[in-house]
Amino acid sequence: MAQAPAPAWIHRWHTPAALHALDFPHPLLAAGDGSGRVSVSDVRTARPLAVWQAHEASILGVKLWGRDVVTHGRDNLLRVWALPIRDEQAGSSLPPRDVASLPRPTVRYEVEVNALNYCPFSLLPLSRADSAELRRAMGWQARAGQQVAKTPQQKLGEEPEALVAVPHTLEAAYIDVYHLPSCSRIATAIGAPDVQTKGSKDLSNRPGIAMSVHLFRRAKSKDGEAQPLSVLVGYEDGKVKLWELRALDVGGSSAKMAWTLAWEERVHTEAVMAVALSEDLSFAVSVSADQRVVRYDLGQVDGARTLMQRTNHEGRASVCIRADGKLIATGGWDGSIRLYAVEELRGLGKLSYHRESVQALAFARQSGPGAAADSLKDADSSDSEEDEDALGPLAHHSTRSISLAAGGKEGRVSLWDLQMLSI
């Protein structure tokens, strides 16, 4: 990088609370902070669309899902909110100082989950076909659950479905999976066999708590074979493990579905702080309290599946992968954002703005990993050259080139234009 750029824009609506979570389905940006507040902004206009108190404790995770936003707080709740965004609101000229007068999203439903550790949830949107297939394979039926508030855009029978992975209710080393909107728990304590045998007092094999989790399912193989539901977990003891839902041969005419350990790696010497998954689900990257950045080949069954880069900088709190799978960004405890080429984990330079730890990072995306597009397409329908020429503070940047958002401990979100990178 010949010359490090300055941020294209600084979002200050969360100051002084530390930023803990970001989601960036362009042109919308969702952010959650340490005081429990969440904001949704439009990067084309650098204006907030909603800013509200989503939880009574710190935000662990936030995700835009269609016209809803899912939030996970340390008050042990996962909430699904209906965004009060009309099509004509996109591009609003409401100044940031008037955020208190913005309409507040409404809770559609909520689930009580574990939030004792700092592991945010992972959301996997489901198509109708995926949902039906998983029900048959896993032998579960969604219970009636609680009343779900409908939005004007959602007609009867059109309620979106998703699976959510979070740490287990009682033991933070395990993972639970819930179905939305029924709020049914369909998988309990994934990874439990790794913990001490019942009745044993030997804790030597007890895993660390889960620090980062990703629930995903790869597309069918070239021969049409369905791929298993998978959970990738980074742990406090430095391990990264891949769990898969597979059929076990137990005799008889039917097979039993169970979560099995596909592989585990321990390249980090300190706690895994964050794991990012590539959009094509082919690889993942982890960062830690140590000096290492590690890439994992998710499709590698045998042989070397990891590539490690030992850097000169200790302590990273966040990591993300660009949608094209070529660029990695890591957020350091020193406030720096460092960029790496995916292929060789070659350092490309750093971005400097934040004075304290970069707690959250997000590259712009058009859809979630392995899922259908879930951005607010209506809000993006006016994306034209005329819009980009009328951006005010972002007038010197095409909003299509604003590709990276970073959240700092000091409460600011920086937006970055990285089009100068050749990679």
Tell me the per-residue pLDDT of 39-74, one tens digit each, with 9 for 90 and over.
999 998 888 999 999 999 999 999 999 999 999 999
Q: Closest by alpha carbon to 85, among 416, 379, 382, 333? A: 379
Q: Which residue has the higher pLDDT, 202 or 307?
A: 307
Write the DSSP string, 267-296: --SS-EEEEEE-TTSSEEEEEESSSEEEEE
Q: What is the pLDDT of residue 398?
A: 56
Q: What is the pLDDT of residue 204?
A: 59
Q: What residues contact residue 403 under an 8 Å CB cut-off, 6+ apart?
A: 322, 363, 364, 416, 417, 418, 419
Q: Which residue has the higher pLDDT, 218 or 296?
A: 296
In the predicted structure, residue 265 carries a pLDDT above the cut 50: yes
Q: What is the pLDDT of residue 370?
A: 36
- Lowest mean pLDDT of 125-129, 244-248, 343-347, 351-355, name the range: 244-248
Q: What is the pLDDT of residue 246?
A: 86
Q: What is the pLDDT of residue 371?
A: 33
How much is the average pLDDT of 203-219? 85
In the predicted structure, residue 349 carries a pLDDT above the cut 80: yes
- Lowest mean pLDDT of 109-113, 170-174, 252-256, 378-382, name the range: 378-382
Q: What is the pLDDT of residue 61?
A: 98
Q: What is the pLDDT of residue 46?
A: 85
- Lowest mean pLDDT of 131-135, 227-231, 327-331, 374-378, name the range: 374-378
Q: Which amino acid is at 137?
A: A
| Separation between Cα atoms, residue 359 and residue 407, nearest integer Å | 6
Phi-psi region of 342 (alpha: psi -120 to 50; beta: other; left: phi over 0): alpha
In the predicted structure, residue 396 carries a pLDDT above the cut 60: no
- Lowest mean pLDDT of 8-12, 297-301, 322-326, 357-361, name the range: 297-301
- Lowest mean pLDDT of 47-51, 113-117, 393-397, name the range: 393-397
In the predicted structure, residue 102 carries a pLDDT above the cut 70: yes
Tell me the per-residue pLDDT of 181-196, one tens digit each, with 9 for 90 and over.
999 999 999 998 644 4
Set out the domains of the chain in order of their start, with CATH numbers: 9-150+158-198+206-417 (2.130.10.10)
Q: What is the pLDDT of residue 85?
A: 63
Tell me the per-residue pLDDT of 294-321, one tens digit each, with 9 for 90 and over.
999 998 777 679 999 999 999 999 999 9
| Mean pLDDT over the full length of the chain | 83
Q: How confident is the model at residue 366 (pLDDT cuts 50, 70, 90)?
A: confident
Could you tell me the pTM of the whole model? 0.85
Q: What percent of the chain has pLDDT over 70?
A: 76
Tell me the per-residue pLDDT of 117-175, one tens digit each, with 9 for 90 and over.
889 999 999 988 888 877 776 666 555 444 555 444 444 346 899 999 999 988 999 99
Q: How confident is the model at residue 376 (pLDDT cuts 50, 70, 90)?
A: very low
In the predicted structure, residue 252 carries a pLDDT above the cut 60: no
Pair of tokens at residue 136: 């048959």
Q: Which residue has the higher pLDDT, 371 or 365?
A: 365
Q: How many CB atoms lie within 10 A of CB 210?
A: 28
Q: What residues contact residue 407 under an 8 Å CB cut-off, 6+ apart?
A: 14, 18, 19, 20, 21, 22, 31, 358, 359, 360, 361, 413
Q: What is the pLDDT of residue 131?
A: 82
Q: What is the pLDDT of residue 133?
A: 78
Tokens 């292929």 label which residue? 343
